[in-house]
Every structure is written in C-alpha cells, then in structure tokens.
Chain A
Amino acid sequence: MGIVIDSACGPEPDPYDYYISFFHNNLPQKNDYQPFYFNGYTIMNGYNDDIEENQINLEQVINAKEWAHYFGKTVKFKDVQKAMYKLDDSVESALYNKFLIFGKLPDSLKHNTFLRKITSEKEKPSLHYYLFAEGIEHLINLRDDKWDPKPVDSVAVDKKAREAFSLANKEHDKFLRLRYYYQTQRLYHYSKNNRMALKIHKDYISKIKSDSHVIGWALCYKAGEEWKMGMKNEAAYLFSQIFAKYPERRLMAYHDFLNTNAPLDQVFKLCKNNQEKGIIYAIKGFHTPHIGLEALKNVYKTDPKSAMIGILLGREINKIEEGYLTPRTNGNGYYDNIGYDDHSKYDSVKNTFIKYIPKLKAFCEQLANEGKYPEPELGKLASAYLSWIKKDTVGGFKALAEINNEQLRPKLADEKQMIKLLLLTQSITKLDTNAENKLLPSLNWLDKKVKEERNLKNLSVSDWSTYGFKYYSASARDFYVKLLAPMYFKQHDTAMAALCILKSERTIYVKTITKYYPDRGLGFAMPEFWRTELNSKNLNKILALEKSKQKSAYLSRLTTEFREPITQKTEYDMPYAKGGYYYKAKFTILKNDLTKNIYDLMGTAYLREHKYEEAIEAYEHINTYELTRYTSIEYDYHFNNSKPYYRYPIVFSKSLKDYTRKFSKKKLKGYNKLDFAIRMAKLEKLVKTDPKNASKYYYDMANGLYNTSYYGMAWFYAAYRWRSEDIYLKDRYYYDKDYLHEHTAESLFLKAEKLSRNNEFKAKCIFMAAKCRQKKIKIPEDAENQFVDYKLGADYHPNNEGKLYNRAIRQNPYFKVLKNQYAITKFYKTAINECSYFRDFLGTTSTLSKK
C-alpha cells in the first residue's frame, strides 16, 4: 500500500531545479549556450555526460547535413546520419569491408539514399574519400578499449597523412578537397607532427573560403598544435573564436581556453576587433561562479550588441535567486533544505547580495536606456524582476510600464507576464475578492503555460528530473506554495492556503505505481499538508467552496485539479524467458475526482476528533470497494511479481504488545474505516444504553484508539505516513495528543477500570493505562541510540535527558497502582512478564548503567 516509505538515503537535488527561479535561464533567442547557464550544483549546467553527448550529436548532425546539402535533394539527411553514425558495429564493419570497397551495398541498406549516391558511377570520388576517412579511424580514434596497449602508430599515421595530402592536391571538387586537407592536418596532428599540421592549415585550409564547419574543426586542431608548441596566447585566441562560431566544439573550446591560462592582455593583442574581445570577456564571465558585474560590464563595453550579455545577465540573476531569494523565501536553506552545505544563512553572505542587487539593477537600466543593446526590453524585464526581489513593487511596475508598448518576442512576453504576476501579488496587502480578480488573468495565463509544458514530451531531461526544463511548471509550483499560500496563512484562511498547496503539488502530477508502491488512493494521494494539518472544519470549508454554486472564476482556477485527468504510470518488472527482468512502463490517463479523497481525509479528521457519526457520514460518500481497498489493508511487498496479498488489521484485538501485526488474510466484517467508525459510534451509544457493561465498552473504545495510534496495527486509520522518527518529534499535528500520546485512550482505560468490578479486568485496564502514560514520556533521541549501542556491547552513558527518561519510564505512576492494588491478580504475573520496566520498578530503582 506504500504505507511505509523507507527512505534510506537521498534525495539528491535535481541540478535543474534546486532553487526558486522565476527569471528563466532560457530567455536568449537561441539555446545553444545552455551548458553555460548558471548552475551552482554541477560544473556545467547539467550532467557532463549529457552535455558531451549533445555536443557529439550536434557535430554528427552538422556533418550529415553538409553531406546531404552537397548531394542536393536526392539524398536525405536522415539517411546520411544513419549510414555515418547509427549503424551497429557489425553492420558498419561489413558495410565497409565487404560492400563499399567493391562499390556495392547490402540488401538492408539498399534504400539508403546516401549510400546509393556514393556507390553510383558519378560519385566515385566521394566513395573514395569516404573509404579513406573510414580507413584511418582505427589509427587515430580514441579507443573504446582502454586495455589495448598498442600506442598510436605514428609512422603509419604519418604515411596516411602524406597520402591524404596527395589526394587533396589531385581533388578538383572543393567539398572533398577541403576534407582531404582536413584529414591531412588531422593525421599529422595525431602523429604529433605539429609543424606539418600547422603548415597544412596555413598553406591550404586557411585559403579555402567555405561555410563548412570543417573549417572550424581544422581550427581546433590548429589551436591544439599551437598550444603544444608553446604558443598559448595564439591557441587561446583561436579557442575563443571556435567558442563563438562552432557550437559543436563550444564546450571543448571553453575548457581549453581556460586551461591555456594565457594572460588576457596578451590574447587581446591578437583580437582583430572589439567583438572578439567581448567573446573572451564572456568566457571568463561564464567561468565565474560568484556574483559580480565585471564580466557583464566588460562585454557590454567592448561589444554592446553581444548575445552573451543576455546569458551573463541571466546568470547573475540566477545566482541571486539561488543564494539569496531561495533561502529568504524558504526561511532556511536551499530548496526543501536538502542538506546542502548552506552558507547562505550567514549575514555576511546575505549582505553581499543585498548590496549587489541595486548595482545589477542599475546596469540593467543602463542596458535598457542606452540604446546599444539590441534587446533593451530584456534590461527592463531584469530591472523589474530585481525590483520585485528587493520588494520595490513601485519600481518594478515602473520598469514594466516602460516596455508596455513594445512588441516582445514570445519568451520575453511570457517572462513579462511572470514578473507582472509576481509584482501584482507583492502589491496585494489583503487577498480579498478584488485582489483575487486582479490576479485571475495572470493565473489563467500561468495555467495555460503549464498545460503547454505538460504536452511537450521531449522536454524531459532525465528519468528523474521531473521539472527539468519545464520552466513555467516549476515557477507555478513555487508561486502557489511559496508566495500565494503564505499570504492566505497570514490571513488565517487555511482552506484557501490548502487549495494553493494542492495546486502547487499537482503542477506536474504523475501517479506512479510499482510493486513496491501500489496504487495509493483517497487521502494517501493528497498533499502532506492536507493529510496532517487540515482538521474537519478546514475540510468542510474546502468542500463547501468546491461545491458552491456561486463559485468564482478565481476559485474555479484554483480548483482545476479537482477534476483534471491524472496520468498514471505503471512500472513492471517483466521476466525474460531465460531469467532476469526488464523494465516496462505503461501510461494510462485516468478520470479523477478529488472530492472522494477529501471525504476520506474528512472522515479521518473526524476519527481523530472522535466524532464518529460525522465520520460515518463522510465515509458514506466513498464507494465501499475503494474505501476497503485503500484504507483497510497493509500491503505485503516482499513478493516478487506475484500477486500481493492483503492483510486486514484486527483493530479491536486485545494484544498487550505495541507494534503487533495482528492481521487476518480474510476480509472480516468491519475492517474498513467506515466500519471502524460505525463500531466506535455504537460503543459510544452502548455506554449510555447499557451502563452495566459500560466498562467493557470503554475498554473496547480505548483499545480501538490504541490500535489506531502510532503503536498499533491499524495506525493508517489515523495517519497517512508512519516513520520511526515520529516519536522523537515535538507534537506537530492536532491529533498527535492521541496518535502519539494516547491521551483519550488513557482516560477511557481508566473509566473502564473505575466502572468494573472484576479485579483481573481492572488490572488489565491499569496496565493499558500505564502503556498510554508511557507514551507521554519524551524519548530523547540520544537515549534510543545509546540503548542500541548498549545492546551491541558498548558502554552505556546516558546524558541528563537520557537519565530522566530512564527514571520516568520505570517510575510510571500506574506501576504503583498495579503493585499496591492488583498484586494478587493472575494478570499481575502477566504484567510482570510483559513489561521489563515494570520489573525494574519492582526490582530496583537504579538506572540502567551499573558502573
């Protein structure tokens, strides 16, 4: 049933979504600088493997497109890509060794337009080049097998370089000639003949006018050769040029530029114009993890039109969001306080940001007003956003107003809407109907953006990066829970705050079912806040809002999730015939109606409040099958792909032990929460109508409460999550006094004892009251750990809290009652055998340690 969530380790933060961000990093026109967006969690923005793979894929796409373009319409780009990069090793090997060298094709590739082209009579030179290029790869390519001890055969490579050069000189076709010269340089490069490699570039490649990216790749080699020959300034300059012009080599160029450690003033001497200097300042800026205006100002000064300005500006704002906005909003550390080493709590760090924000804002204004930067509206947007961060709503609106008449491109238009929503919210002192109506258009827009992202299947970055590049979904999630909900809380409007929390949580909602986490329905599927903090009054109000015939458009927006279809992902371990398993997932769209979930929560709230008639009424809104399915059972997850079996708690079991697992595999009558509520309501009535047996009824009620507390087998009648650490925490929720501390149960056991005349029964009541009283003693975490250590043979040294606990647990006031009044009962012996603390009370008054 997914009841026990055993989180042994993790979570790890999502590097794309670990701080609050409303100023999205994808605002630049093109996204080809994505690895350089700010990310304080990974070296580049994202995982290195993903980034490197993207760069390789990009280069392959570029090369394949060039070949397709070279041949014209008769050759499809996809066919080129397949032939060059997507064949299995064995197929590729056969293609070249058994077919292409004879100018033939295997049947499986006969329809490939590219391969058909190069094997045609007219295109023999292309085929010849293709075979040559393929033939040298094994000599120079980085080997997959690191355990191959053969070094590069530089003699053989050198020989091939001379052959490539000869072929280049004979080749008339410009496209092929360039590639032959490129291979010549490349081969000399790998035979470490840097002088020849540079000569080829200088005398031949540099003289070819072409838009081909092969020019850029040759430049990469040239830069490497110069670097190896001690010309690091020249190498750095070239790397900066490659960085700017060749996205497929951008990452490599970036790292290599930095690794040359070339002094900037020397590299600048090689720059032909200010734009080239601007690129270098930008590279340095991308390498700066801390806030600072230096790079931005330098790039702006040298090249005010540079596209890098937008990226650098985005980085600065994201740094402020990570280091200042997020901790300020969260009240403590980073997003969800994941345990990341949090330096942001120090005043000195906060003050650095506080001083920096106006300076950055001033730069944004300069960017917007001076007319040099092609998108001045970006400056205004950033300025408005920084004003919002500073809580200068007037300043923020002013900046936005200055671009009201501008036609913004879609990404900037959306960002403007986002900032407007933030400023509007900030300007509201009380969330009344007027204020809500003001927000509504923006909220409608935000919902639309979220829906668009839900439909964009290819935005998923990795399996577990839920919000990945879904910018507006992440912003909506944060807006509702971190900005709007707190405003409702301030107004003591818990119901509306709860609706905000639900909306936040359901921004991206995929119900995932696995064999370990089967279908969680009803109250289990609701946000944690709903499950733990909402009492029956709150829940009734929420339902009333939802059902109201005068439901406002604003409220409708807030409650869209009540009936939004849910995506369910079911994960399977599918067995292979010969053993082992493979993963399979199935997606289903389910109808949804959250009102029954709310009725479950309401019923549970009533149970917690001991209002059983009201609980019955709430549960009667839920289909019995569902109520039983989701609330009666404990799921056994030890089965591997066989059907789970359900275990029904024997709620009124009279076991004396805590944490007993008294279950029945049979679905006995009365074992869902409705039936429990019916039974408890009946017992309440019986106490009045059958006073003769009132003690028994009180005992049963007390027992029912005990068994549905943290310590009982049916704890999930009162709660939706059980954790071992719950007993160490201070009382958190309105029902903890019973759920954790058995207040009501204790009083009912005492009533049972008082009304009974049977000494054995009375003794048992007192024993149970003692168990309840024990649950009021605060357990210091230290004592529990020390107890564990003691069991393992370590010395036991309780601290003060531990000593108090040890004393209190053995001085339970009911022990005295048992001893003085019930020592002659048979049950007394049971009590002694059951409880070691009672034995300690009887035998000794010393603490656990005898040292």
Chain B
Amino acid sequence: MWHINQLNGYKIKFLGSCFLLLFSLSSCHHPKTINTSFYFWKTVYKTKKTETAWLEHFKVKSLYVRIMDIDRVENRGEPSPILPILFKNKIPDSVKIIPVVFIVNEVLKGLSDTGIDSLADKILPFVKAKIEQAGKNDFEELQIDCDWTAGTRQHYFYLLKQLKNNPIMKHKKLSVTLRLHQLKNQIKSGIPPADATMLMCYNMGNLRAYGKQNSILEMSELKKYLNQNISAYPMPLAIGLPLFNWAVAFRNKEYIGISKKIKFVDLIDKNQFIFIGDNIYKAATDLPDFGLNKADEIRWESISVDDLQAVATYLSPLIKADNLTVIYFHLDENLLKPYHYTDLEKVNQILH
C-alpha cells in the first residue's frame, strides 16, 4: 500500500483518473495489522490460567515484562535494582519476552557520564540473567520506561546511547516509552535515541487534584496532546492502553495516596462507604485496614470498554502505520475480570 505522502510526492500527470485516484486514496481508510500484547508488571511471575488464556487467545507474540525499577534506596547511594521480578514459572514457549526496565527520573539527576556508563553496564547483564530465569535464551528488544524531563534529557539520552552500544544489545532493538506531554512538547523533550517508542495513552490527568476526573484516561485530556503529531513522530510508535483501576484517596480534599487494598466491591459495601456521586465514595466510618479515616473520600478510576473504544476511535485515523502494536497495561487476572475477549477484539477492530 502506498503511503499517501508518497503518492503526493509523485505528481499527478494525468489529471482525470489520477486525480480521482488520489482523491479516493486520500479519503479511504487503509487497514492496519494490529498486534496485541500486554505488559506484565508484577514482581512475581507465576503462570495463571486466565492470563495464559488471554495470551493465547490474542496470539500474543511478545510479552513486555517489567524486570526492575532503578532507583536510589531511600534517596541515597548508587542507583540500584528495586524489587526485581522473581520468576516462579517460565514464560510460555510461544511468547517472547521483551524486558522492560523502569528508571525513576530523579536517579538521572546528578549522575556523571561515568555513572551513566556504569549503570548501562550493570543493567544489561542483570536483564540477561533475569530473562534466562524466565526460561528464555535471549531477547530481541529491550524497553526502557522513564518519564524524563528537560532537566534529565541529556543524561537519559546518553544512557540510551550507552545501552544501545553495549555488546549485549547487538542486533537488538531498543524501545522507550513516551508520555503524552513528551509527544506534544518535542522541542523541550527531544526525541530519544531509540529504535521505537510506546505511546502511553494513560495516566494523563491530574491524579492529585480533587475532583471527579479520571486521571487514567479522559478523552478531553488525550485530545490536548494528540493530533497529527502522532503520525509525524519520527519513530515507529506502539500504543499503550490501560486496563487497570485504582482508588485515589483524599482527606479534606487533599490527596493522600492510592489505596492498593480497596477494590470496587469494598466501595459498594454500604457499611464501609457512602456513594457521593459520579465516581466519588466517602468512608462511612474509620477503615484502618484501608488506612482511611471516617469521611475520607475515594475517587474510583477505572476503564470501561466504552472508554477503550473511544480512544481507539480517536486514534485510528491518526495512525498511518501499516502495523500497530497495542500493548495493554497490564496482564493480571483480577484486572482482566471486567473484560471479555470481544471487548479488546472490538478495540483492535476499531484501530484496524
């Protein structure tokens, strides 16, 4: 299929039919091949039937597995692996592993070039050892996840270069995550020296602001960042979509954190919570198990199928590539419960 820009590049000599051809080409949709994948973001990998079933159903070729975070312990000392993954089982043979390393932005500040060199030299052998624990001999792609800023850009890009130049990465692809603000502000953020990116279409709103917004995904927020810039980005882009939910807690309208323990079933328990309206619930009593006092509020953020479809509908015409990888965050049997295969199939269909 010829890309529309290429067609424009070849000037139409025969006005009539060629013009018609151009017109029809520019106005018709060209289908894309959608590759579905998932992130695995837990610290222990254990084979779970449900999760394996989803991998099989969508013929997932590669699983993006978080290997570790890189941070300083208690904000001091050298950067080091935090909570590296433990493989209690091997990843299915049919699924390749794409190791993902999350780097806390703060770590990049104050690192000298020598420090960055050392970090790069440590990350790769560690990753390699870990993928062997996953039952794999090698990997084809490494992904680095970092919400870099203008202040850390130089160090981050240098780290990426050093990773790419490491012998372990020979003939391998380096991809990076890209947040919406980095897509929008390319001059300030720069273009990272990588082979591909994953555009994170989630966590776009103001988590800490009190209100009924959905900070994970809101179309109005998405549209502030995305337009034709997505197709103009000078690197192949995969798309990340959310499948998770969380309970954002407020005390006297001040953000106090995300509760890892509260599930939706807790919120609809009238002995524990009072529904205020929209997605807000108020603690009916002190709930020490959840770390909540009476009258603390929870904003429940989740992603409905409609939300996913809306995003897909918006994104589809903006993406011109022939192949598109959609990576869902993240593979967890509990998070997958609200969804059916057909829900994601529909999303893929819209994107197609």
Q: Residues of A with Cβ closer than 8 Å to B?
A: 48, 146-147, 149-151, 261, 263
Contacts and interface: CB of A to CB of B under 8 A. Distances in A.
Interface string B60-104: 000000000000011000001100101100000000000000000
A264 to B, nearest CB: 9
Among A48, A149, A150, A151: residue with most chain B CB under 10 A: A149
A229 B201 CA distance: 37
Contacts of B84: 149, 151
B126 interface: yes
A147 B80 contact: yes
Interface in B111-139: 122, 125-126, 129-130, 133
B97 to A, nearest CB: 14
Contacts of B73: 146
A339 B126 CA distance: 44
Contacts, number: 25
A147 B81 contact: yes
B147 to A, nearest CB: 23
25 contacts: A48-B74, A146-B73, A146-B80, A146-B81, A147-B80, A147-B81, A147-B122, A147-B126, A149-B81, A149-B84, A149-B125, A149-B126, A149-B129, A149-B130, A149-B133, A150-B129, A151-B84, A151-B86, A151-B87, A151-B133, A261-B288, A261-B289, A261-B291, A263-B288, A263-B289
Nearest to B261: A261
A48 B73 CA distance: 13
Given A147-B126, A261-B289, 17 more contacts: A48-B74, A146-B73, A146-B80, A147-B81, A147-B122, A149-B81, A149-B84, A149-B126, A149-B129, A149-B130, A150-B129, A151-B84, A151-B86, A151-B87, A151-B133, A261-B291, A263-B289
Contacts of A48: 74
A283 to B, nearest CB: 15
B65 to A, nearest CB: 14
A370 B7 CA distance: 97
Contacts of A146: 73, 80-81
Nearest to B119: A147
A146 B86 CA distance: 14
B5 to A, nearest CB: 42
Contacts of B74: 48
Contacts of B86: 151
Contacts of A261: 288-289, 291
Contacts of B130: 149
Interface residues of B, number: 16
B294 to A, nearest CB: 14
A261 B286 CA distance: 12
A150 B85 CA distance: 11
Main secondary structure of the interface of A (DSSP, over half): loop
Contacts of A147: 80-81, 122, 126
A139 to B, nearest CB: 15
A637 to B, nearest CB: 27
Nearest to B84: A149
Contacts of B126: 147, 149
Interface in B288-333: 288-289, 291
A147 B291 CA distance: 34
Contacts of A150: 129
A150 B289 CA distance: 34
Nearest to B122: A147
A127 to B, nearest CB: 35
A146 B81 CA distance: 6
A335 to B, nearest CB: 26
Contacts of B289: 261, 263
A147 B68 CA distance: 11
A149 B74 CA distance: 21
Contacts of A263: 288-289
A145 B331 CA distance: 30
A366 B73 CA distance: 47
A147 B128 CA distance: 12
A48 B133 CA distance: 35
A149 B86 CA distance: 10
A151 B130 CA distance: 9
A90 to B, nearest CB: 23
Among B74, B84, B122: residue with most chain A CB under 10 A: B84
Nearest to A149: B129
A119 B122 CA distance: 42
Nearest to B85: A151
B2 to A, nearest CB: 47
A733 B87 CA distance: 72
Nearest to B123: A147
A172 to B, nearest CB: 40
Contacts of B288: 261, 263
Nearest to B67: A149
Nearest to B291: A261
Contacts of B80: 146-147
Contacts of B87: 151
A263 B286 CA distance: 11
Q: Can you list the 10 inter-chain pairs with the closest CB atoms, starting with the nearest?
A: A149-B129, A146-B80, A149-B126, A147-B122, A151-B86, A149-B130, A261-B288, A263-B288, A146-B81, A147-B126
B88 to A, nearest CB: 9
A263 B289 CA distance: 8
A740 B73 CA distance: 51
Contacts of B291: 261
B163 to A, nearest CB: 15
A263 B288 CA distance: 7
B270 to A, nearest CB: 20
A147 B73 CA distance: 13
Nearest to B129: A149
A275 to B, nearest CB: 24
Nearest to B77: A146
A261 B129 CA distance: 37
Contacts of A149: 81, 84, 125-126, 129-130, 133
A149 B80 CA distance: 11
A151 B83 CA distance: 11
Nearest to A262: B288
A110 to B, nearest CB: 39
A149 B126 CA distance: 6
A329 B289 CA distance: 43
A146 B80 CA distance: 6
B225 to A, nearest CB: 32
Contacts of B125: 149
A107 to B, nearest CB: 38
A147 B67 CA distance: 12
B27 to A, nearest CB: 51
A151 B129 CA distance: 10
B246 to A, nearest CB: 19
Interface string B28-51: 000000000000000000000000
A263 B84 CA distance: 32
Contacts of B129: 149-150
B159 to A, nearest CB: 16
A261 B287 CA distance: 10
B154 to A, nearest CB: 23
A342 B116 CA distance: 40
Among A147, A150, A261: residue with most chain B CB under 10 A: A147
Interface in B126-166: 126, 129-130, 133
Nearest to B81: A146
Among A146, A261, A263: residue with most chain B CB under 10 A: A146
A263 B292 CA distance: 12
A147 B124 CA distance: 11
Nearest to A154: B88
A557 B213 CA distance: 70
A150 B74 CA distance: 23
B168 to A, nearest CB: 13
A146 B289 CA distance: 32
Nearest to B78: A146
A150 B133 CA distance: 9
A129 B316 CA distance: 68
B292 to A, nearest CB: 11
B53 to A, nearest CB: 27
